[in-house]
Amino acid sequence: MYTKLIKDGVFLLSKNIEGILFEAMWEMPSGVTLNSYIVKGEKTAIIDGFCGWDGYPESLYELLEKIDVQLEDIKYVVINHMEPDHSGWIEDFRKMHKDFEILCSKESAALLEAFYSHTDNVRIIGDNDSVDLGEGKVLEFYKAPHVHWPDTIVTLEKSTGILFTCDNFGSFGTAEEHFDDELNAEELAHYESEARRYFASILGAFSPMLKRAVQKIEKIPFEIIAPGHGIIWRKDPKRIIEDYKYYADCNIKCTNKKATVLYGSMYDMSLKALPTIEEVLKEKEFEYTLINVMETDYASVLMDVLTSSAIVVLAPTYEYKMFPPMISTLKEIAIKKLSSRAVLYTGSYGWSGGAFKALKELSENERTKWDIVGDYGFKGSPTEEDLNKLREGLVELTERI
Ligand SMILES: Cc1cc2nc3c(=O)[nH]c(=O)nc-3n(C[C@H](O)[C@H](O)[C@H](O)COP(=O)(O)O)c2cc1C
Ligand SMILES: [Fe+2]
Ligand SMILES: [Fe+2]
């Protein structure tokens, strides 16, 4: 864990986490940071908790000593969001220090009770409420429900203009240089890509609520964006805000001339349709990505589909349904509400088919709003006629955008 001064008595405490799956399921090839913040006024507040802390008092004292904070100085703990990557430290912390008040939304308070049976010294704050820490430091709170849980708030420190946005504007990726003004163009692009990965796997399903939250945030007089994960946007906070607006719009409806071609096959019969797919997408000047669903983690699939208006599904029939790695990938895409996409199915079957029906059922059950172009399944190896029909279907797919 390490500390950095952001501005005038406001510090970042951060830990790089690698080699685990986020939420026990999402691959993070570049890891993630867990960020907390200390605001020093006459009273000190901690925002979003020391979640990288190992639970040992010595390590906490050592950390606080670096920024000249005594445990007794901490009078407020601000819970922006009760997910344990932000608030899982609180019970360990309470064993060492009791004289503090928790500031959180009423939804967070209910979760605090449900998770940790904690009900005392909790002050429920609502929109535009503020708490004066003394020495010019004032915290102001804004509700941002469902970014990512129903309880989420964002917290502004008014004198420095630092807005602590929790999951909103977060990204994956560990960090050493923690501010946008310390990074070169390539490094910034890396964090933007990691933000897309984070958005697609963690926040995408909440895009309509996120858009509402961003509209609200844009009216707050902030200067710096300090999220719970990733880097701090001190020089150009607009950049990550614009990225997030774009991702949320794309999640709901994407109009890019781009297709994600998802493929999976047992014996390579289905793959015989792949050259035709590439040919038509090139002809129609569609950008496209080929993704083997058996070798690709869900987060990588989702971050690609996020910016595609079309999905081509290439997979065989399996036990009268769709090849299992493909249907589970499609289900994940549906769960993340990557809706309003044009979708085409093709792939091989032996005797009955069934993959297309499984796709339609999934789409109906999950209310995907996918515009399904049609069934271009073929028996065994595709004939010239099969491929010609497929070509027509693909042309139609590109025209449905
Ligand atoms: C375990 C298994 C289950 C299958 N179930 C069906 C089925 O229910 N209906 C059908 O038409 N074909 C079924 N098939 C046949 C495949 O769809 C066919 O072999 C197809 O060519 C495989 O395509 P691939 O080479 O792209 O994997 C099954 C094949 C396997 C191995
Ligand atoms: Fe979260
Ligand atoms: Fe988080």
Q: Whose CA is nearest to atom 17 of ligand 1?
A: 349
- The helix/strand/coil state of 135 is coil
- The reported pLDDT for the residue numbered 132 is 98
Q: What angle, 0 to 180 degrees and rounded to 10, lies between the N-to-C axes of helices 237-252 and 207-217? A: 150
Residue having the nearest C-alpha atom to atom 19 of ligand 1: 350
Ligand 1 pocket mutation pick from 269, 313, 317, 321 by most atoms within 8 angstroms of CB: 317
Token representation of residue 333? 């895409």
* Residues contacting ligand 1 via CB (< 6 Å): 265-270, 316-320, 348-354, 380
Q: Give the list of residues 6+ apart from residue 78 with CB closer than 8 angstroms, or none.
A: 45, 46, 47, 48, 102, 103, 104, 139, 141, 155, 164
Strand ranges inside 8-112, DSSP E = 10-17, 32-40, 44-47, 74-78, 101-104
167: left (phi over 0), alpha (psi -120 to 50) or beta: alpha
Give me the DSSP letters along 313-374.
EE--EETTEE-HHHHHHHHHHHHTT--S-EEEEEEEESSS--HHHHHHHHHHHTT---EEEE
| Distance (Å) from CA 163 to ligand 1 centroid | 54
**Centre of ligand 1 from the C-alpha of residue 318, in Å:** 5
What are the counts of helices (DSSP H) followed by strands (DSSP E) for the chain? 12, 19
| Nearest atom within ligand 1 for CA of residue 267 | 25
| Position in ligand 1 atom list of the atom nearest CA 270 | 26
Alpha carbon distance 309, 253 (integer Å): 8
Bridge partners of residue 47, in order along the sequence: 37, 78
Query: By the 8 A CB rule, do 103 and 125 touch?
Result: yes
Counting other chains too, the contacts that 53-62 makes at CB distance below 8 Å and 24 or more residues apart are 53/1, 53/15, 53/89, 53/92, 53/93, 55/89, 55/92, 57/96, 59/1, 60/93, 60/96
pLDDT tens-place values along the chain, 401 residues long = 889 999 999 999 999 999 999 999 999 999 999 999 999 999 999 999 888 888 888 888 888 999 999 999 999 999 999 999 999 999 899 999 999 999 999 999 999 999 999 999 999 999 999 999 999 999 999 999 999 999 999 999 999 999 999 999 999 999 999 999 999 999 999 999 999 999 999 999 999 999 999 999 999 999 999 999 999 999 999 999 999 999 999 999 999 999 999 999 999 999 999 999 999 999 999 999 999 999 999 999 999 999 999 999 999 999 999 999 999 999 999 999 999 999 999 999 999 999 999 999 999 999 999 999 999 999 999 999 999 999 999 999 999 98
Residue that the structure tokens 């915290």 belong to: 139
DSSP alpha helices (H): ranges in 199-273?
207-217, 237-252
Ligand 1 atom closest to Cα of residue 321: 8
- Helix (H/G/I), strand (E/B), else coil: 33: strand
Tell me what pLDDT residue 381 has. Answer: 98
Q: Where are the alpha helices (DSSP H) in 177-290?
A: 185-198, 207-217, 237-252, 274-283
The two structure tokens encoding residue 375? 């069934």
Do 292 and 270 meet the contact criterion of CB atoms below 8 Å apart?
no
Look at residue 26 in the predicted model and tell me its pLDDT: 97
Q: Which of 26, 12, 13, 21 is nearest to 198 (CA)?
A: 26
Please state, in angstroms and rounded to a whole number, the distance separating the CA atoms of residues 311 and 296.
16
Nearest CA to ligand 1 atom 28: 318
pLDDT of residue 51: 87
- Distance between alpha carbon 361 and the CA centroid of its chain, in Å? 27
Cα separation, 119 vs 109, whole angstroms? 7
Confidence (pTM): 0.95
**Cα(377) to centroid(ligand 2), Å:** 40
> Which atom of ligand 1 has the smallest separation from the CA of 349?
17
CB crowding 347-360: b at 16 or more within 10 Å, else e: bbbeeebbbbbbbe
- Distance of alpha carbon 71 from alpha carbon 60, whole angstroms: 9
User: Cβ–Cβ contacts within 10 Å for residue 223, how many?
Assistant: 13
